Amino acid sequence: MDDAPVHARVLVASNRGPVSFTLDDDGTTTMRRGGGGLVSGLSAVVGSRGAGTSEPTGKADVIWACAALTDADRQAARRAPGGRLDLAGHDTGGAAVRMLDIPPPVFHRAYNAIANSTLWFVHHLLYDTPITPNFDVGFRREWDSYRAYNRAFVEALADDAAPGAKVVVQDYHLTLTPGMLRERRPDLRIAHFSHTPWAPPDYYRMLPDEYGREVLEGILGADHAGFLSQRWADAFVACCETFLGARTDGRTVEHRGRRTRIGVHALGIDGPALSQRAGQPDVDGRYAALREIVGDRRLVVRIDRTELSKNIVRGLAAYREMLRTYPEWQGRVVHLAFAYPSRHDLPEYREYTAAVQRIAAEIEDEFGTEDWGPLVLQVNDDYPRSLAAYRLADVLLVNPIRDGMNLVAKEGPILSERGCALVLSREAGAAAELGEDAVLVNPYDISGTARALHGALRMPAEERLERCRRLAATASALPPQRWFADQLAALD
């Protein structure tokens, strides 16, 4: 029977899946495919022979388990047999997708309160420590939901996995999944991958001991724990030593008689695919409009989600300080700052968005003239416009206070037409690869960032082009296909 459950030999688990739904007026749902590295990484194995094994590919060789994130997702998941969207007639691009309809209150506590307000804050060092965090009785209830959410993934994966299958579990939403799944299905080969930084032990110890240990032990349920840079891998290993007393030689961690290998897999860009997309007519249209705004002035670009870790406010403060300290730039430069909405369920994010808008207005007020707008802040998400801005940029500013990798820093140089100088935070994972050809900054040092912007704007055209070429080569050296294949290979 065509829609009989089929056991997969490769399974991916992530909170956000490769597709999402919107609700139409007549109550039906419409599916949209997502972008992002994970989707393109998986597309390389889905439908290929054997998905990392030598056996022929079957219909459900690869299953991707994800959570329903919205009401529309839930409806679609409920209508699909066993949550399997591909069996409900959706064309999911070759992957079998199982969307989990986790009860909304459980989902919200797991996603907003634990994943995004606790683990994300810990790994990005975001707490305002005199005030937060507060691990009280409410937190303990939220943690129970985080466990239940992870348990829902474990049940789905355990049901869908063929004997000895490979399971690649993604990110901080699912840290408990490897350990729980190991207990349930000891035959499986499990990898966990962290897309975030990892907190150093002195910050990680803020978590109540039992929860801090639960996260570490959850990940150590995997055979392989992957990170985007050596720095984050080292921090994880240090936490395992400090809080579990685990034994380690740096490349493996041994705990309770099990050994987990630690891997570093940087994630880069599929350069040809990105360039192809950036040459489409919708991008060309935006390109012309942006050119009109910029005129013959120099252009500084930044593109981020409006995310606390992205450090947009200090980035704008640095631009302001540059205009004050090096007034020769007044009237001669424009800063395009694209700050797209993100996680607006969280009050900290709403307040941060307001702070970004406040400082943008101050800059406009201080410097704007009749024929010169020093700053263009755009908060509506427009992907083709972002691609157009990359093409035009003279300087790209990427100054997160901490970032697992940061793909903006990699996309920009690939698309830049005249060669852009990259001003990059030394706290981004990407700095490990791009540091030599970027201008590195301490993200808290506003004066240092202002100087770096000034220097980048003054960099001789030839040097800029040369550096940009090397940045682009490095950025596309490890495309998502390779990154994903490496994770699978690590389980052999």
Residue ranges binding ligand G6P (CB under 6 A): 15-16, 171, 195-196, 343, 404
Which CB atom, from 171 or from 486, has the smaller least distance to ligand G6P? 171
Q: What angle do CA 329, 439, 363 make, to 5 degrees?
A: 35
CB of 171 to ligand G6P, least distance (A): 5
CA distance 378 to 394: 18
Nearest to 86 by CA among 168, 3, 152, 1: 3
CB 162 within 8 A of CB 9: yes
Q: Are 240 and 253 in contact (CB under 8 A)?
A: yes
Select 98 or 124, whichever has its Cβ closest to ligand G6P. 124
d(CA 14, CA 69): 12
Least distance from C-beta 116 to ligand G6P, angstroms?
A: 6
Residue 162 in tokens: 């063929």
333 vs 424, which CB is nearer to ligand G6P? 424
* Residue 255 vs 343, nearer CB to ligand G6P: 343
Give the residue closest to ligand G6P by C-beta. 195
Minimum gap (Å) between residue 63 Cβ and ligand G6P: 19
DSSP characters for 129-181?
TTT-----HHHHHHHHHHHHHHHHHHHHHHHHEEEEEEEEEESGGGSSHHHHH
**Terminal Cα distance for the chain, rounded:** 32
Report in angstroms how near the CB of residue 18 gets to ligand G6P at its nearest. Answer: 12
**By C-beta, is 191 or 333 nearer to ligand G6P?**
191
- Measured on CA atoms in the order 113, 14, 231, 262, is the torsion positive or negative? positive
| Shortest reach from residue 467's CB to ligand G6P, in Å | 25
Residue nearer to ligand G6P on the CB measure, 110 or 421 = 110
Let me know how long the chain is: 492
Q: Where are the beta strands (DSSP E) in 312-466?
A: 333-340, 375-378, 395-398, 421-425, 439-441
- The residue among 195 and 410 lying less far from ligand G6P, judged by its C-beta, is 195
Q: Which is nearer to ligand G6P, 69 or 459 (CB)?
A: 69
Q: Which of 431, 351, 340, 330 is nearest to 380 (CA)?
A: 340
- Find tokens 């965090």 and name the residue: 133
Instruction: For the CB of residue 470, give the shortest distance to ligand G6P in the complex, in Å.
Output: 25
* Rounded Cα gap, residues 126 and 401, in angstroms: 9
In angstroms, what is the minimal distance from the CB of 461 to ligand G6P? 33
- Structural contact between residues 124 and 402, judged by C-beta atoms closer than 8 angstroms: yes
**Shortest spacing between CB 192 and ligand G6P, in angstroms:** 13
